[in-house]
Structure 1
Amino acid sequence: MSDAGAWGFTDDRGVALTAVHRPERVVAYVRAGAALLDLGVTPVAVYGSGHDGEVLDPVKAGGLAAAGVPYLGPGRTLDEEAVRSLRPDLIVDVTYDGKSAYALDEGVPGRLGVSAAVLSVGNELSLSAIIGRFGELGASLTGADGPGPDVVASAEAVLRSVAARTDVGVLALSGAGPDQVHLARPHAWPELARLQELGVRLLDPGPGAGANWLTADWEHAARLDPGLVLHDSRANAVGPDVFPPVGHARVAPWNPETPPSPAAYARFFADLAASLQEK
């Protein structure tokens, strides 16, 4: 905007937000807050989702804990007076349907008298578009250009080269217990869809109920014959120390809520390239 003090941003619900001054005190959903931190905006606090407990999930936290950003607990049970005491001038959440905030009760911003920016992380946008939208929000809050796409492009180029030299079948999943697993449908996840575009051979779990996941037993997962399993590493999922071996597949962590920042996804792509090359 021409006035350096004024601020405006249209979020992914189509809501036009304006303020006389650029927001400086941001409260955000953990995933959004971790991305904003990478982009130069340090939230005054973050909150979790319905999957989260009273302690910040270190997998979802990015650099938030190291930066000393307080965690307020799950968004649906927020202590609104505690939030009010932080004097926020913007709340940032994510949406999977382009309509409603994922982690926060819709009435909270209104009751607090605070504007809310809600950005899409669903599969109606490509991964690059999702990262770009967070970059636009970050730039609007800092008044400076954030990290460019070059860091992601470089990591993608390496991953594309590695994928072209391997034929490893990759299965992304979230462990539900020793007898049950949620198998990711690659097209439903922007980062998995991007991996397919880069030449990684993502395995589809097959027909059945569920738009994002197919819930099955571990024997079904093994029959898909993956060479590499990307397991949901969040605290609410069961890890490889509990779930049974998936055939002879190696395992590597996958955070389905990776912060939508260039730095975070560059690390994910670099780590996957290394995992694909392991023997």
Structure 2
Amino acid sequence: MLSRPFSYLFSISYYGARFKGWAKQKEQPTVEGKLERVVRFVLGHEDLRLIGSSRTDSGVSCRQGFVQIFLREEVDFEPILAALNLNLNGEIRFNSVRPIPRDFNLIHSVKQKTYRYFFSDSESFHPFASAFLTSVSQINSLERMQENASLFVGKHDFRAFCRISGNKIDFTREILEAKIFETEAFSTEFSPEKIYCFEVTGTGFLYHQVRKMVYAIWYFSLEEIKSRLENPTHEWETVPTASANGLVLWETVLDLDS
């Protein structure tokens, strides 16, 4: 018999600058660690297990992600959702909750993800704007960045645009859409006059892939990107990784029939 037969699916958002990433780390503030502490406190017991749909890096925020929680006893979460959010102190928020079959596999059900990366090349960039934006200089023109972004669309071997770790042998990923545009997101009195957004949608991403793509879009030529995509096993110079503080997991699409 399953020790935790009841399962619940939560939609969540969080501000990544307050955390050292998703995964629990000893004596470090993480999203997973805080979620576990708060849910245990509100429920009044330790008997639960938690799985996230994405393991974001330190500093990366999330507009829409998902968490699956497994429990020994059935719980009506709707009346206590406000209490959970109150104890999460505004850094993390449960947006919704629904019961989900115990055999639902959250990791395998992720159909696609959309990331947005916000940045500005303004010379008068205010430090307060760095909460959501990255400050850059001497980057390509908007037209060139748009052309660079379009090169990533399709199925490619992205080993030249990721941080290789562990025993990973499959570096092929599919990018469904990649574009750059001006935006008024996060607009405040401290915002620069122009804010740009790189938006990329794919079926899956490698470690640091989006942030390395961003750097290439900023500074590489069309040929530099094409060469790395067409000959990924060549010993290329490592592509630098753009800062984490401009990156947001914007949308996660699930296949709820999985």
Q: Could you state the TM-score of these two structures normalised by the residue count of structure 1?
A: 0.31
User: Of the two structures, which has the highest relative contact order with CA contacts closer than 8 Å and spacing of 6 or more?
Assistant: 2
TM-score, normalization by structure 2: 0.32
Q: Which of the two has greater helix per residue?
A: 1
